[in-house]
Structure 1
């Protein structure tokens, strides 16, 4: 069960404009955002109005309340002009994603007076937030009923979820990278220093010992996992010993992830593991990912970060899949094969396909533990967090899953707008042959999240930066 985003709701007004209108819009805005699946921490009880205005003592109380509630983000709706300096001081103290918006103003009254001047106040607050070096998200001044508000608000919540997950990210690293995979070199110290991302290493001996212990003890978790495997996959090519061993590996990994407070895993999947316990971990990775714990291959720490970000941007509603970018279709110049040995989540398997528990088809050991299937098509986002020389970026591109030639392993053919452009960016940028796909448009949310992750630059290929920004302003 996913955690809801906890939003600090800090509506603001200014004394020279209509107090009555400010209260009216505070209520209307709260009613609107209460329709979304979030927890809201408001200002009721801070003062008689439940509004933020020019009062230093109230500002201290608001900061204290939001910190104690551990809000994940803060929304400062301007119910009239607003109080820009107080907003900025609170935002600076909290260091959380900030949303700035206000309802569109009505025409002046018959006597020429105006009730709110909300738009003018937004200009002021935006400038002061910049002076305070506070990054913020802005939704175009609009009515509550305008689709641009809903689009912008939902995107901000998703972006805030990404920021929350990255700031608390600890990855279980199972052994070192495979010796031949220089592409998987990463700077663990830099990830901690720049992003606060922790890596917790364990050895293959730890995995072997715990897997064998799980098999011996025959706990209910093992029985349940065996039942899950045999009910979801065609297991006709493998024996009961292999099924039990893969199930035990999954349970062991799950225990280590939980015990060490991790939210993702990167594992050295070959070939020492096969020599140690006689199986591939691919299916175990698939089962973990389906449970909300992204598990990636070849000790790709950056791949694990990518998967966590993609899953968070989708609000944990669908599983990501970790893939190799492998071959270009011989007839379709814009089609590419996304493949891996057998780690794609079972929940993503195409309805016309029965996933098969099989032996690995490439390695000499032919160890069991892969599952093979084509996953469903449709619209997908392709994402990759990567970096070198102290600079990090986030590749973002949209694709469509299409039918293509059969291949072994787990796979999906995708079609993009301009594959040569994608290929050039992937080869010449800081990227590798790994990516993460997810069946949801997470690109605007990830683009926005980069505002709040210092040292990470969005690198969109399709849509472009300008197209994403236009979309968030309400353009289709």
Structure 2
């Protein structure tokens, strides 16, 4: 099932240059804004009342554009060379916004084969200059797969959709809060991570000893309405005819506790210790609970694998669908393209 996210909010710098046609620049600005809005993007861009024809041509207009971006807290910035594009102004708008968000560049195509006396954009040259100045000031950027095109082209919508997904991932991960319940099994070095270094990237880790989770889940009454509703939902989620009621009850209590833990700490994803402590000390695995929560848009990784949970979170943000974390267990002995995947989460 698709997962609903708020629209991505992108700042747009329509880079103009004196000496080129303002009307051509304005037409491409408007076409780009319309195309991004049709793609479901919330666009923040100077209006024609704020800058000349709503574009950015000089440092004063760049400052005004940057202020709009800061105030709106945009999640990414698209720089479009609507003609040659003033590279200093375009770069200044990005730099002065001081948001450290992803940046994508593109340039606008000519209206036809160039002829003497015909108004032209020279956006390809401008795009190269803008990219070079971005490099000089230390701003990393992406370029649309087709760097010179009309915003009405399907390729532009595809590039904007890709970029919006990148921005959603970056925005979501930098502000993420991940729950870690328990510790990894000692032999699973693949699950190791550095909590402090991860924090420098943005995500916060909220830790809880597995014994506390087990105690809290065990303390829930069998008759708790939320527990009973969870049992019914789990039985409808998958065939539970061969599962003992006691196991369903314990799984439901674990799920109810984890949901409350998530709400209390505003968690975006979870990594929980399962094998083999949960089985020995609580009598159930976490697989069904993790799968149900993941399908609802709350990624869950097993073995306290925080980096795995973060990867699931990123995939979910990018795809708009639930993410799964699997082990690549076996390659088929005859078909090199066939693999057996298994794991929970």
Verify same fold: TM over 0.5.
yes
- 1:175-324 to 2 correspondences below 5 Å: 175-193=182-200, 195-215=201-221, 218-219=224-225, 221-314=226-319, 316=320, 318-324=321-327
Alpha-carbon separation, structure 2, partners of 1:7 and 1:227: 43
Match of residue 124 from structure 1:
129
Q: CA deviation at 1:73?
A: 0.4
SS at match of 2:256: helix
SS at match of 2:325: strand
Assess if the C-alpha contact under 8 Å between 2:329 and 2:340 holds in 1.
Answer: yes
Matched, 1:142 2:138: no
Q: CA deviation at 1:48?
A: 5.4
Which structure shows the bigger proportion of residues in helix conformation?
2
SS at match of 1:11: strand
Question: Where do 5+ consecutive residues of structure 2 fail to align?
Answer: none
Could you give the per-residue CA deviations for residues 317-348 of structure 1, whole angstroms, max 9, x where no partner exists? Answer: x21111112122122234221112xx25xxxx
Alpha-carbon separation, structure 2, partners of 1:214 and 1:49: 63
Could you give the per-residue CA deviations for residues 298-329 of structure 1, whole angstroms, max 9, x where no partner exists? Answer: 11122112111211221x2x211111121221
Q: CA deviation at 1:151?
A: 2.4
- 1:90-101 to 2 correspondences below 5 Å: 90-92=93-95, 93-101=98-106
RMSD: 2.1
Q: Label 1:210 to 1:130 Cα distance change in 2 as closer, same or farther (>3 A).
A: same
TM-score, with structure 2 as normaliser: 0.90
Question: Where do 5+ consecutive residues of structure 1 fail to align?
Answer: 345-476
- 1:11-410 to 2 correspondences below 5 Å: 11-44=14-47, 45-47=49-51, 49-56=53-60, 58-92=61-95, 93-107=98-112, 111-139=116-144, 140-193=147-200, 195-215=201-221, 218-219=224-225, 221-314=226-319, 316=320, 318-340=321-343, 343=344
- How many residue pairs get aligned? The number is 337
Assess if the C-alpha contact under 8 Å between 2:14 and 2:81 holds in 1.
Answer: yes
Assess if the C-alpha contact under 8 Å between 2:15 and 2:89 holds in 1.
Answer: no
Q: CA deviation at 1:214?
A: 4.1
Q: CA deviation at 1:76?
A: 1.6
Could you give the per-residue CA deviations for residues 186-211 of structure 1, whole angstroms, max 9, x where no partner exists? Answer: 22222223x22322110113212332
Alpha-carbon separation, structure 2, partners of 1:192 and 1:55: 35
Alpha-carbon separation, structure 1, partners of 2:314 and 2:119: 44
Q: CA deviation at 1:110?
A: 5.5
